Structure 1
Amino acid sequence: MPWWRALPEQLAQGDVVLVTVAATQGSAPREAGTSMLVTLHGTVDTIGGGHLEWEAMAQARAMLLQPSATPAMQRLSLGASLGQCCGGVVWLVFERIGQASRVEWYERVQQLERGIGLQRTLVSLDAQSHWSSLNAGQWSQGACLDMIPFPSPGPDGPPSPEGEGTANSFTQLGTGPNGCKALPCPPPRGRVVQSTGRGAMPEIWRLSHILQATPFPITIFGAGHVGAAVVELLATLDAQIRWVDPRDDLFGRARDKVECIVSDAPEEAVASAPPGSFFLVLTHSHALDLALCEQILRRDDFAWFGLIGSKTKRARFEHRLQALGLDTARMCCPIGVPGIRDKSPQVLAIAVVAQLLQVREAQASIPSEVNVDADTPAA
């Protein structure tokens, strides 16, 4: 379960600490933007890394024992000191989230579930993050960490962070998938950093973090052995699953958030699927398979379409579909990642889900425009 979905329930039990991978260099267990929740007695989600995560948990729980703890950033080298050999560097940001924000987080979760993204901005010495809503459109999930070393105090005292040139003096340390370089990040909010007494000013850091519920709509036709095995695997992911079959007795005990559709006209579920859907046709009837293929190929806004069957079945279907004027180039048949010959339902399901994830990741790597509504604060 994503950490943000579990946050309101966790806050009902007490304060939590949000640990975020703010930046990475070299080899690292997880990418920038990855986060986890830490409570006194448990965790939700993971930043990976074995000993790295144990160290993060210890730091977070120490923060929970300090009611006035402010956000902090820590640089960790993934070397011998942590008992790891990744060789990279990870910057972690720790922020305590209080029970008083439970209602706000419940509303933010509702926004994310509706496809509204959030941008988080946290500047060192701030008491908490600032969250703002993202306009409808496409954006890239991830995080970036900026650092600014303030100059030494002059004869008139320390310079103000609001001074000329400050807003452009941030140096980006690292980014998440696709980067956050396009995000307009505000300058430091006017806090004057006190001198250390040694003629130098400490570094200021700023975290910019994009959070979204990544759409993964999948419509699966067929509740037989393969369909059931595929749904069992996909239900462990953050996917929006619609499972369609005319036989209601085959769905069994479907998992939560799996929408089971019993219909004598499964083709109607093609039209009602959202744009960018993944379609998987696994029914018991070749005639129904063909009808579904026709309806899916008549749409030009699907992300991927797979049909169970052999090369011979594909050839026969291609002949009939092309006779209807349809382009079959995007019809994937046979399905599953190559190199796996076992056709048992469970093995085939693993091969198909792996293929779905390959396609999804390839599509997610395409850069997209970021639209930020800086005037509309998140709930």
Structure 2
Amino acid sequence: MSFDRDALAACIAAHGAAVRVLVAATAGSAPRDPGTAMLVWENGQSGTIGGGALEHEAVLAARDMLEAGRATAQRRLPLGPALRQCCGGAVTLVWERFDEATLPPPGPRARAMGPAGDMPEAVARKRAAMRPGAPPALLDGWLIEAAMPEARPLWVWGAGHVGRAIVSVMAPLPGRAITWIDLAPDCFPDDIPEGVTAIPAANPAALMPRAPAEADHLILTRDHDLDLALCHAALAHGFASCGLIGSATKWARFRSRLSALGHSNALISRIACPIGDTSLGRDPQAIAVGVASALLKGGNEKMTRDRAV
């Protein structure tokens, strides 16, 4: 993961000064990968660097920094000898205190872990060469972090039981920009998860051209005719992946109708139906778990298909 300035800014706006705890490097077995971070403020925290004794010590150190007003700290922790954890490796943590005045600008960043001086040329080159989403680097006493990659778009069509379950599972995951569409405002729950854009639309299919071509789509409405219209619109527009809720029987009928609308069999086959993993059951939460697993495994390229009846 990269430096998530938006999450840090939101934390500061809500809680005041905060310490960001970053897994800057690992050696051997470790609970989380480099780039993983958590935020700690006076009486709360968000995110996790792996839990257990490592996280407990990290939070205590962060609160000490907040109380003392220190700006940065860095420490390498052997997980077995120092913390009696069984991972066996070592983790290098970086603590950084931020407030409104010290919130950095968007984009890649480099920060001296000690007394600030001119940025070394090697550090500047490393920062410039880092691709979005690259893990952090420690070089010549500086912490270097890449810009955040653009969030992958997920468009969820329908706010019924399954739509709500899927959004609740996917919304907390990093790297997703979720757009949620249904017919009217009262179709949505009172509390929309953070980072989710809910759009009421009398004609949802008319919104399909607004979706990015690289978006994943999940079509989950209460109306089969609307589902068909959305499939038709998605095939005409293009997508990274598309899943349709329904049985194998529903999909056979939809394939025939979409073919009659002029779509090729090869194109129609890019839509996955049924979605998720039917072996998990048909409970909305079980469907949501299967769909989330498929999206995480396939990314924006494909959605795992389960054709079991």
Q: TM-score, normalising length from structure 2?
A: 0.79
Instruction: Map residues 191-230 of structure 1 onto 2, 5 A cutoff.
Output: 204-212=140-148, 214-230=150-166
Following TM superposition, by how much is the alpha carbon of 1:78 offset from its aligned partner in structure 2, in angstroms? 1.5
Q: Tell me: CA distance 1:8–1:297, structure 2 relative to 1, closer, same or farther (3 Å).
A: closer
Per the TM alignment, residue 320 of structure 1 is displaced from its structure 2 partner at its CA by 3.3
Aligned to 2:137: 144
1:18 is aligned to 20
Alignment partner of 1:30 is 2:5: no
**Aligned counterparts of 1:287 and 1:265: Cα–Cα separation in 2:** 12
Task: List 4+ stretches of structure 1 deviating above 6 A.
Answer: 128-132
- Asked if 1:234 corresponds to 2:170, the answer is yes
Q: Which amino acid aligns with 2:151?
A: P
Provide the C-alpha distance between the structure 1 equivalents of 2:165 and 2:16, rounded to a whole number of angstroms: 38
How far off its partner does 1:4 sit?
4.5
Task: Tell me if the contact between 1:3 and 1:37 (Cα under 8 Å) persists in the aligned partners.
Answer: no
* 1:357 aligned residue (296, 299, 307): 296
Deviation, 1:248, is 4.4
The residue aligned with 1:49 is: 51
Counterpart mapping for 1:114-125 below 5 A: 118-125=107-114
Work out the CA distance in 1 between the residues paired with 2:72 and 2:271.
50
CA distance in 1, matches of 2:46, 2:5: 6
Compute the RMSD of aligned alpha carbons. Answer: 3.3
The equivalent of 1:159 in structure 2 is none
Deviation larger for 245-254 or 259-268: 245-254
Q: How many positions carry a matched residue from both structures?
A: 288
Cα 1:20–1:129 change in 2 (3 A) is farther
Per-residue CA distance 1:114-149 (angstroms, 9 max, x = gap): xxxx212134424499899x99xx722421233xxx
Higher helix share: 2
1:268 counterpart = 2:269: no
Percent identity, aligned pairs only, is: 39
> 1:296 & 1:23 partners in 2: Cα distance?
42
2:290 maps to a residue whose letter is A
Q: Verify: 1:316 aligned to 2:305, yes or no.
A: no
In structure 2, the CA distance between the partners of 1:213 and 1:307, relative to structure 1 (3 Å rule), is same
Larger Rg: 1
Q: How far does residue 90 in structure 1 lie from its aligned partner after superposition?
A: 0.8
Tell me the equivalent position of 2:276. 336
TM-score (norm 1): 0.66
Q: CA deviation at 1:280?
A: 0.7
Contact 2:213 2:237 in 1 (8 A): no
**Relative contact order higher in (CA < 8 Å, ≥ 6 apart):** 1
Residue by residue over 1:287-313, the C-alpha shift from the partner in whole angstroms, topping out at 9 and shown as x without a partner, is: 22222112111233x222101112232
Q: Kindly tell me: are residues 271 and 46 of structure 1, through their superposed partners in 2, closer, same or farther at Cα, counting changes over 3 Å?
A: same
5+ residue gaps in structure 2? Answer: 303-309
Residues of 1 paired with 2:184 and 2:66: CA distance?
52
